[in-house]
Structure 1
């Protein structure tokens, strides 16, 4: 399938309009109609209902494959261009909100290279590296000690763990549990929680604890960690953060069950260059660096 035709199909399906897709893609409406017709002829199946515009059953199945296919296409193009261009003087690093721990940020320097750090959602880090939007990625998550994170398979990437630390439950001052030496996550299922990108998602808390609950009391859509801490301190909900994120350890209690840690991994494309050099530098930020692991596709 022609990736250009596939991209047009995805855009029409997403917008529910041939004219809106034409405006977004910079085509005429007739050109969009011709591209959809060509894709349908190639497959021998109708992919879109016309009135109203909506995917057919076959179109719905194609949409399930379209995202990964288009990403793979962008990743292949970026990989070829990256190899042909040689070492770059500028490097963009895509990082999830809690990936830049103090130990990691101290190592974010490469001689004669200008580094731009971009914060993105956890699930988009590997995608940005694969597509060439970023030369290197830093992604954080929760895992058993020394276990690799579950990263999406988006292309030929290499990666390894560079930092692990304990997790703490952030409580407001005077909370009845603030005097505990440790807390089990399952015992906090009835509590109200904060939902924020710069914190462990509530859905992940349920998965880790193996129980329902963890009701969201307050949602914050920003990435500012200070705001998350202020919201927790004001009693808007509990949150789970890596220990180094707290300015005052008295504000949190260590998570002792389940036995999991906050883990940071570096992800980069094939071919060496500045990204590989910075990855090698990040590999040894401290003596507590976990053993190397491989990202999908490595």
Structure 2
């Protein structure tokens, strides 16, 4: 299966348009049509309907494989390119918003660093494909357990930090004076829907292990990436939020009550390509004081 044809198919299916795919890929529309025809001939199956443009049942099944296949190829190319790469005096770090703790920010070298925030699910791919030199990713985990990260390519993950989780609510809320809260007691509460700055509601449902799709109803939706804004919204009564304790510290009117059950922590890991880090990457890793790596 030719990866160039597969990439064209993925683009046409995503945009639902041959002409838009041609513009995006820099091809003529005729070339895009030829790519799709060649891929269909190779597989012996129709992959797209033409009017309207959309995947056939076989095309839908191919879409389940295409993204991960192309990602693995891009990761392999980036991994091999590192053998010929000259030492660099710059560093590109990608990070999920909640992974940027004060400790991580203080550890950044003074010069030569480009920092980008990405959704947490995109950080491993950025490191694997060479779009970034290092990545900081976070998530909910049992104490001392590694994060469950996508298997996009071989890379090394190091624990940077673990901290307690807190339910953030208004200081005047009836539950604000509790010594701790359980997720099971908050299933029917209204929650802030802030997937880019707090833990997504589907992950809270999974952590609660209740019936599929049950509970944790969304209230206001926030599409930014600033966790302190989420804490301020919770303080203003727009919904509860689950955040690391450090993200809720010092927010006027907010109460941060420890999550006591299930027993979970906010975990941050540093991702890097396999091999010995050099230059600014090695400097940042040393400053973060990460423990011995666990190769994935």
Task: Please give the TM-score of this superposition, normalised by the length of structure 2.
Answer: 0.92
Matches within 5 A, 1:115-130: 115-130=113-128
2:161 match: secondary structure? strand
Query: What CA distance in whole angstroms lies between the structure 2 residues aligned with 1:70 and 1:159?
Result: 22
Query: What CA distance in whole angstroms lies between the structure 1 residues aligned with 2:220 and 2:292?
Result: 37
Instruction: Note the residue ranges of structure 1 that are not aligned, 5 or more in a row.
Output: 286-290
Query: What CA distance in whole angstroms lies between the structure 2 residues aligned with 1:53 and 1:38?
Result: 17
Is the contact between residue 160 and residue 265 of structure 1 (CA under 8 Å) also seen in structure 2? yes
Q: Report whether the alignment pairs 1:260 with 2:264.
A: yes
- Give the deviation of 1:47 after TM superposition: 1.6
Q: Call closer, same or farther: CA 1:153–1:275 in 2, change over 3 Å.
A: farther
Question: 1:277 is matched with which residue?
Answer: 282
Question: 1:215 is matched with which residue?
Answer: 217
Question: 1:201 is matched with which residue?
Answer: 200
Q: Call closer, same or farther: CA 1:54–1:36 in 2, change over 3 Å.
A: same
Question: 1:288 is matched with which residue?
Answer: none
- Give the deviation of 1:279 after TM superposition: 5.7
Deviations 1:66-108 (A, max 9, x none): 1011111111122222331132111111100100112222222
Is the contact between residue 228 and residue 247 of structure 2 (CA under 8 Å) also seen in structure 1? no
- Give the deviation of 1:49 after TM superposition: 2.0
Query: What CA distance in whole angstroms lies between the structure 2 residues aligned with 1:284 and 1:88?
Result: 22
Instruction: Note the residue ranges of structure 2 that are not aligned, 5 or more in a row.
Output: none
Query: What CA distance in whole angstroms lies between the structure 2 residues aligned with 1:280 and 1:72?
Result: 25
Structure 1 residue ranges (4+ consecutive) displaced by more than 4 angstroms after TM superposition:
none
Question: 1:146 is matched with which residue?
Answer: 144
Q: Report whether the alignment pairs 1:56 with 2:56.
A: yes
* Candidates 222, 235, 238, aligned match of 1:236: 238
Matches within 5 A, 1:75-94: 75-94=75-94
Is the contact between residue 148 and residue 293 of structure 1 (CA under 8 Å) also seen in structure 2? no
What is the aligned-residue RMSD (CA, Å)?
Answer: 1.8
2:266 match: secondary structure? strand
Is the contact between residue 189 and residue 214 of structure 1 (CA under 8 Å) also seen in structure 2? yes
Q: Which shifted more, 246-255 or 146-155?
A: 246-255
Q: Call closer, same or farther: CA 1:67–1:157 in 2, change over 3 Å.
A: same
Q: Call closer, same or farther: CA 1:75–1:69 in 2, change over 3 Å.
A: same
Deviations 1:110-137 (A, max 9, x none): 7xx6111111001000011111111100
1:180 match: secondary structure? coil
Question: 1:137 is matched with which residue?
Answer: 135
Matches within 5 A, 1:75-114: 75-109=75-109, 114=112
Is the contact between residue 93 and residue 134 of structure 2 (CA under 8 Å) also seen in structure 1? yes
Q: Which shifted more, 144-153 or 194-203?
A: 194-203
- Give the deviation of 1:292 after TM superposition: 4.3
Query: What CA distance in whole angstroms lies between the structure 2 residues aligned with 1:163 and 1:231?
Result: 26
Query: What CA distance in whole angstroms lies between the structure 1 residues aligned with 2:48 and 2:188?
Result: 46
Q: Call closer, same or farther: CA 1:242–1:87 in 2, change over 3 Å.
A: same
Query: What CA distance in whole angstroms lies between the structure 1 residues aligned with 2:160 and 2:226?
Result: 23
Is the contact between residue 151 and residue 295 of structure 1 (CA under 8 Å) also seen in structure 2? no
Query: What CA distance in whole angstroms lies between the structure 2 residues aligned with 1:259 and 1:176?
Result: 23
Aligned residues: 289
- Give the deviation of 1:295 after TM superposition: 5.1
Task: Please give the TM-score of this superposition, normalised by the length of structure 1.
Answer: 0.91
